[in-house]
Each structure stands twice: as C-alpha cells, then as structure tokens.
Amino acid sequence: MSLKVYINGEFFDKENAKISVFDHGFLYGDGVFEGIRSYSGKIFRHREHIDRLYDSAAAIALTIPMTKEDLMAAVEETLKINGLSDAYIRLVVSRGMGDLGLDPNKCEKPSIIIITDAISLYPQELYENGLDIVTASTIRVSPAALSPRIKSLNYLNNILAKIEGDRAGCKEALMLNHKGEVAECTGDNVFIIRREEIFTPSIEAGVLEGITRNAVIELARNAGYTVHEMPLTRFDVYIADECFLTGTAAEIIPVVTIDSRKIGTGRPGPFTKELIAKFHTITGK
C-alpha cells in the first residue's frame, strides 16, 4: 500500500502528493514546519509541537485556517491511515499559491501538509560511541534579522553549516551566534556537562526552543540535576566533561570530539548515558 499524504484535508498517494510551483513555500521558503515523532502510536509532546507551529506561523503573520484541535486530529488520522505507530511526522504550513511576486496577500489559502513516514535515525553505533562534530564558520542567523525560534521553511542558514560539517566528515556541526557564543547544531540543540552540572545555551542565544531540549531540561531537573541555561562559548565546550545533542530525530546523542579535541575522556559519559536511559522511560522505547 502506498503511503498517504494529507494535503488540505484530502489524502493523496505519495506519488500524487504534489504542491504547485506557485506555492510561496516553494518560491520563497515562506512557511513553517514541525518534525514530530510517534512512539508506539503515541505522539510525543504533540501539544508542544502544535503550539510551536502556531507560534512560528504567528511570527510570520500566517494564519493557519484550522483550530489546533482539528490539526492535531488530522495528524492522528494521517498516522492511522498509514498504519504507522513508530513514525516521523512532518507537518508543513506554507503561505500557499500566489503569483511570482513576494506579496503574501496574493496567496489566498495556506497549504497544510502532513507527511508520515518510518523514522530514519542515526546509526546505533553513534549512540554507543558518540559523534564527532566541528564548529561551522557559518554563524546562526541573528535574532535581530530573523528569529531562529521560527521553524521556517528556509533552512539555508543551517544547510550551509551542515555542508561544512559534511565536508569535515561530521554528521553535525556546531553553530555560533552573531556574538560568537555557542548557539546550537544544524538540527539539534546542544548541552554540556561540567562538574556534574548541566549547561545549555539560553533561548536568547538565538536558538530554536527544541521540544526535546525542554523535555531533557525537565527530566534532568526532576532527577535533581542543576541545569543552567546561559551563554556558553566554544571554550566551555572544549573543557566540558561531556557533551550531547538533542532533537526529535536524534533524541539524545553523545558528542565525543569537537574541532578534533576530545571532550572529557573521548567516550560517552555517565551523565549522558543516564539521561538517555531516562529519556527512553518517557518515550517508552
């Protein structure tokens, strides 16, 4: 059976799931999205993802022509129709079809798309041995220009850094902000551990407020750890005992080297391992 894709209230076979070339999501990256997971049929932090989607939309003056409840129901229905229980869900809302000019007023109806598919993960080996990453020279877009809190369809800033990571043989790359502070990776938030305390850049550093980031902060604090959300520099990462990344697809993944420097022992550390185990208890996997 072919995968079914939801487009504006209708389901299409994967092969026929098409959007107009006049859609401003395509022409200008004018739209917003979410990447969501379901574990054993249960959508992880569904409400948080929907809230973030509507916040991203509000920030770009895009009104999603559906209530949050109806959109959540449509996501559930798409999963069900595809018989998926452990899945990756891509929810996209673009400005819709317009003319060739920038004017969003020419776009009458936003396009709402829900794609569900099997999740593709980092290889298990990387969870056991950790990732090598590099710092990209491409800095994260300044919040004064375009807030990185908007999960928009324009990911060029991250893609340019991703290319740098890839050319250095790394699966992720660390991005600094306009002030030279640590921001986040191209599709993951970053955490470090030093002297048994946990640190992550604050949202004000100009990062996406990751749903996984928030879940990890919550579970670490509930376990009695001190979590600091504060400005961090590359130096802090270099001298950290442990480092890990968080994201919907990655969950929690250890980082063992950055810019060819070993972090801690150069092996995934005990705190990271404990947090990974705790995270699995909340996802049930």
| Catalytically active residues, by annotation | 151
Question: Of residues 101-160, which lie at the interface with ligand PXG (CB under 6 A)?
Answer: 158
Is residue 213 a contact residue for ligand PXG (CB under 6 A)?
Answer: yes
Residues 216-275 that bind ligand PXG (CB under 6 A): 246-249
Q: How far is the CB of 106 from ligand PXG (least distance, A)?
A: 28
User: Contact region for ligand PXG (CB under 6 A) — 11-19, 65-73, 96-104, 208-216?
Assistant: 208-216
Whole-number Å distance between alpha carbons of 209 and 10 = 31
Q: Specify the stretch interacting with ligand PXG by CB under 6 A; choose among 19-27, 98-106, 181-189, 257-265.
A: 181-189
- Residue 213 Cβ, how far from ligand PXG at the closest point, in Å? 6
What's CA 129's distance to the chain center, in Å? 22
Which two structure tokens, joined as six digits, stand for 125? 């080996």
Q: Are 95 and 23 in contact (CB under 8 A)?
A: yes
Instruction: Write the secondary structure of the chain as one string of H (helix), E (strand) and C (coil).
Output: CCCEEEECCEEEEHHHCCCCCCEHHHHHCCEEEEEEEEECCEECCHHHHHHHHHHHHHHCCCCCCCCHHHHHHHHHHHHHHCCCCCEEEEEEEECCECCCCCCHHHCCCCEEEEEEECCCCCCHHHHHHCEEEEECCCCCCCCCCCCCCCCECCCHHHHHHHHHHHHCCCCEEEEECCCCCEEEECCCEEEEEECCEEEECCHHHCCCCCHHHHHHHHHHHHCCCCEEECCCCHHHHHCCCEEEEEECCCEEEEEEEECCEECCCCCCCHHHHHHHHHHHHHHCC
* Residue 29 in contact with ligand PXG, rule: CB under 6 A: no
Nearer CB in complex with ligand PXG: 38/97: 38
Residue 100 Cβ, how far from ligand PXG at the closest point, in Å? Answer: 27
- Examine residue 208 and tell whether it contacts ligand PXG (CB under 6 A): yes
CB of 186 to ligand PXG, least distance (A): 6
Q: How far is the CB of 29 from ligand PXG (least distance, A)?
A: 13
Nearer to ligand PXG, 100 or 159 (CB): 159
Binding residue for ligand PXG, selected from 38, 189, 200, 272, defined by CB under 6 A: 189
Q: Which amino acid is at 24?
A: H
Size of the site for ligand PXG (CB under 6 A): 15
Pick between residue 132 and residue 184 the one whose CB is nearest to ligand PXG: 184
Of 23, 30, 181, 188, the one binding ligand PXG (CB under 6 A) is 188
Please say which residue, 4 or 171, places its beta carbon nearer to ligand PXG. 171
Q: In the set 62, 182, 211, 243, which binds ligand PXG (CB under 6 A)?
A: 211
3-state SS, residue 101: coil
Task: List residues binding ligand PXG (CB under 6 A).
Answer: 35, 158, 184, 187-189, 208, 210-213, 246-249
